[in-house]
Amino acid sequence: PQAQSYRARVKNFSNPTAKAILETVERKKSNLAVSVDVTKAEDLLSIIDGVGPYVCMIKTHIDILEDFDFSLIERLQHLSQKHDFLYFEDRKFADIGNTVALQYSNGVHKIASWAHLTNAHPVPGPSIIRGLSSVGLPLGRALLLLAEMSTKGSLAVGAYTTDAVRMARQHRDFVVGFIAQNRMEGLGARPEDDITNEDFLILTPGIGLESRGDSMGQQYRTPREAVYDSGCDIIIVGRGIYGTDPKAVGTMAAKAERYMAEGWAAYLERIA
């Protein structure tokens, strides 16, 4: 998959969200997802409107908004149509199947009703996938497992990562890839597993051009390190784009354009 174009990989997936992600990346020539981690709905909307032309995906932490109200969802959906991108709610589910199914469909956020993609920690085992897919699969949604993390001292390494990939392999209709730092195809495959055309989407956070980390354990790589050196598919950039001033939308748009260009150049170099 590292050497195949995004377009050629559409056929490797049965899940409609996975196909839509690859098609959007190809159409917009952007493998950039912007993580908009702000606490005011108006800032969220204005940043999304500013960076929207340069992204294939917007990643949210909807639960950090101080003024969330479900009417916001309609405004978010309007922006995704205007700018042609998908929503990834970075919920990091981590409970038993029954509980995550309720968290995914209910509560004030009703994540499954609007987020095309969400993610889960594999720590509870395969039951977390069954719980989430009972809600998301009929809606055409998709799930990523967190196989690795970008933080210093992460416990998601070695056998944990391998077992995450094995879990995903058993649920390819709904689990379309990973939050990870590296490619995962074939990892931990058993003789009975058919991995000939195995393809996972690798979305990678911990991306920055101007810094190598923060004071709380985050570690950054450049778009080229992630996409060319490690073969990741989509770069996730947060503070590197929205910075410290949530009102400086013009600056953010320029930064998003730069990350998009670097991410795409690294991809073209990779498939060349």
Which of 133, 150, 222, 230 is close enough to bind ligand UP6 by CB under 6 A? 150
Taking CA atoms, 185 is separated from 15, 124, 226, 263, in Å, by 17, 22, 16, 21
Write out the two tokens for 123. Answer: 């720590």
Which residue's Cβ lies closest to ligand UP6? 238
- Ligand-binding site membership of 28 (annotated): no
* 37 sits near ligand UP6 (criterion: CB under 6 A): yes
Closest CA to 263 of 57, 9, 60: 57
Q: Which is nearer to ligand UP6, 19 or 120 (CB)?
A: 120
Which of 12, 17, 62, 90 is close enough to bind ligand UP6 by CB under 6 A? 90
**Three-state SS for 78?**
helix
Q: Which is nearer to ligand UP6, 12 or 202 (CB)?
A: 202
* 225 sits near ligand UP6 (criterion: CB under 6 A): no
Residue type at 226 in one-letter notation: A
- In the complex, the smallest distance separating the C-beta of residue 266 from ligand UP6, rounded to whole angstroms, is 17
Stretch that binds ligand UP6, among 73-81, 143-151, 221-229, 263-271 (CB under 6 A): 143-151
User: How far is the C-alpha of 71 from the C-alpha of 132, rounded, in Å?
Assistant: 24
Contacts for 256 with CB less than 8 Å, ≥ 6 apart: 32, 34, 50, 51, 54, 55, 237, 241
User: How far is the C-alpha of 64 from the C-alpha of 72, rounded, in Å?
Assistant: 14
Write out the two tokens for 94. Answer: 């981590």
* 35 sits near ligand UP6 (criterion: CB under 6 A): yes
- Ligand-binding site membership of 239 (annotated): yes
Q: Which is nearer to ligand UP6, 240 or 246 (CB)?
A: 240
* 149 sits near ligand UP6 (criterion: CB under 6 A): yes
User: How far is the C-alpha of 199 from the C-alpha of 185, rounded, in Å?
Assistant: 6
Residue 95 annotated to the active site: yes
- Ligand-binding site membership of 181 (annotated): no
**Active-site choice (19, 90, 163, 233):** 90
* 223 sits near ligand UP6 (criterion: CB under 6 A): no
Taking CA atoms, 116 is separated from 3, 86, 121, 197, 268, in Å, by 26, 6, 18, 24, 26
* 239 sits near ligand UP6 (criterion: CB under 6 A): yes
* 246 sits near ligand UP6 (criterion: CB under 6 A): no
Closest CA to 173 of 130, 206, 214: 130
Q: Is 63 left (phi over 0), alpha (psi -120 to 50) or beta?
A: alpha
Which of 56, 142, 164, 179 is close enough to bind ligand UP6 by CB under 6 A? 179
* 218 sits near ligand UP6 (criterion: CB under 6 A): yes
Which of 50, 131, 177, 206 is close enough to bind ligand UP6 by CB under 6 A? 206
User: How far is the C-alpha of 44 from the C-alpha of 41, rounded, in Å?
Assistant: 5
* 231 sits near ligand UP6 (criterion: CB under 6 A): no
Binding site for ligand UP6 (CB under 6 A): 35, 37, 61, 90, 149-151, 179, 205-206, 218, 236-240
Residue ranges for the binding site for substrate?
37, 59, 150, 218, 238-239
Q: Which residues are catalytic?
A: 90, 92, 95
